[in-house]
Amino acid sequence: MKIIAVTLCLSAGTTLLGQYMDIRINQLGYYPQAPKIAIVKQTQATSFSVLRLPDSTVVYNGNLTAVRYDTDSGDSIRWADFSGLTTEGRYCIRLSTGTTSFAFQISADILREVAYASLRSYYYQRCSYELTQPYAGIWSRKAGHPDTSVLYHSSTGRTGKGRSPLGWYDAGDYDKYTVNAGISVANLLQVYELFPDYFADSTVSISESGNGINDLLDEVRFELEWLATMQDTDGGVFHKVTTANFSGFIMPEADIADRYFIGKGTAATLDFAAMMAMAGRIYRPFDSVFANQCVNMARKAWQWAVKHPTVAFKNPADIHTGEYGDNSFGDEFLWAASELLI
């Protein structure tokens, strides 16, 4: 009997879920002035209402579009366009068949939490850094990869060891790549330039929250401090700091294989020049000493690239981590020159 009761509950729940899923909404919600479209799989419905929650007052009525075929999903669907509803609040959609959607929000802050979570994702990627309460929650962990004794791989033309701590792990491994840093640092610093108050101090809950400095600038600085260690004395920039092979799925502190500075290349050097030029411009009001260092490093990198304009990075035979090769440097020259000129 128990088994039958559980089965009935599950099937009732599945049916309900199926009905909700017949109305596909943006589960994060909608900005008040943005287009608002729900996709309706229940094509026998012809009209819809939007109900304000929790009182279920109808605040908007509309007709569904004619049935159309969605080539991406392979479904026959109708659209419910409720862009005309611009009042902030919590709502659900009800079709003429009686089916209702999951609840959703209309709010001017609708993407704020996910934006903060996105920035905090870089905090979770910190190398040489222990993640602690209250910032890391269930993802608290020990520090890994101090990178205070990194070997110069023969591809660098140097011998011995150097320091390369801090920075963010790459997306799927514990290695650190200069060219990959380029896209993250550039996008984040551009967000700061466009919306300087969005990630104000203490918005994101990282260990530098409360220090009086914008939390985005704090997080990017963690990457820039690592990047500064990647420039060789001649101005050229190493392509990456990695182990010889990927570590596999182990905790950071368990990956104790030797780490190497590897290669130099035109792409890494120009990306570095661009990032440091941006940093010199953006951090100047808060730390002019650091800003001057960034500009000097950027210029030195640019000069190296002008003298070595076609050095394409290739993985040495004994290195099997991400290559991120590039044979075309026009885009990197354009980016670095632009940032240095601003």
Residue 240's alpha-carbon distances to 40, 63, 175, 219, 222, in angstroms, are: 48, 56, 8, 20, 16
* CB neighbourhood size of 149 (10 A): 13
Point out which span in 115-123, 185-193, 288-296, 327-335 binds Ca ion (CB under 5 A).
327-335
Of 233 and 328, the one with the shorter C-beta distance to Ca ion is: 328
Count of chain residues binding Ca ion (CB under 5 A): 9
Amino acid at 208: E
Nearest approach in angstroms of CB 100 to Ca ion is 42
Of 157 and 210, the one with the shorter C-beta distance to Ca ion is: 210
Nearest approach in angstroms of CB 70 to Ca ion is 36
Nearest residue to Ca ion, scored by beta-carbon proximity: 201
Q: Is 219 in the site for Ca ion (CB under 5 A)?
A: no
- When binding is defined by CB under 5 A, the residue of 75, 81, 130, 201 that contacts Ca ion is 201
Q: Is 213 in the site for Ca ion (CB under 5 A)?
A: yes
Amino acid at 337: A
Q: Is 215 in the site for Ca ion (CB under 5 A)?
A: yes
Q: Is 200 in the site for Ca ion (CB under 5 A)?
A: no
Nearest approach in angstroms of CB 117 to Ca ion is 17
Nearest approach in angstroms of CB 210 to Ca ion is 6
Take residue 178 and report the two structure tokens written for it: 């200069």
CA geometry: angle 282, 284, 288, nearest 5 deg: 150
Q: Which of 227, 302, 229 is nearest to 269 (CA)?
A: 302
Q: Is 328 in the site for Ca ion (CB under 5 A)?
A: yes
Q: Which residue spans within 17-56 are E strands per DSSP?
A: 23-24, 37-40, 47-52
Nearest approach in angstroms of CB 182 to Ca ion is 10
Of 45 and 204, the one with the shorter C-beta distance to Ca ion is: 204
Residue 30's alpha-carbon distances to 34, 40, 84, 108, in angstroms, are: 7, 17, 12, 8
Of 40 and 216, the one with the shorter C-beta distance to Ca ion is: 216
Q: Is 331 in the site for Ca ion (CB under 5 A)?
A: yes
Interacting residues with Ca ion between 67 and 86 (CB under 5 A): none
Of 40 and 268, the one with the shorter C-beta distance to Ca ion is: 268
- When binding is defined by CB under 5 A, the residue of 83, 211, 288, 292 that contacts Ca ion is 211
Say which residues have a Cβ less than 8 Å from residue 243's Cβ, sequence separation at least 6: 174, 175, 255, 257, 258, 259, 260, 321
- When binding is defined by CB under 5 A, the residue of 218, 219, 232, 271 that contacts Ca ion is 218
Nearest approach in angstroms of CB 212 to Ca ion is 7
Burial 232-254 (b: 16+ CB within 10 A, else e): beebbbbbbbbbeebbeeeebee
With contact defined as beta carbons under 8 Å apart, do 336 and 273 qualify?
yes
CA geometry: angle 313, 174, 282, nearest 5 deg: 75
Take residue 196 and report the two structure tokens written for it: 């300087």
- When binding is defined by CB under 5 A, the residue of 147, 170, 175, 208 that contacts Ca ion is 208
* Residues lying near Ca ion in the complex (CB under 5 A): 201, 208, 211, 213, 215, 218, 326, 328, 331
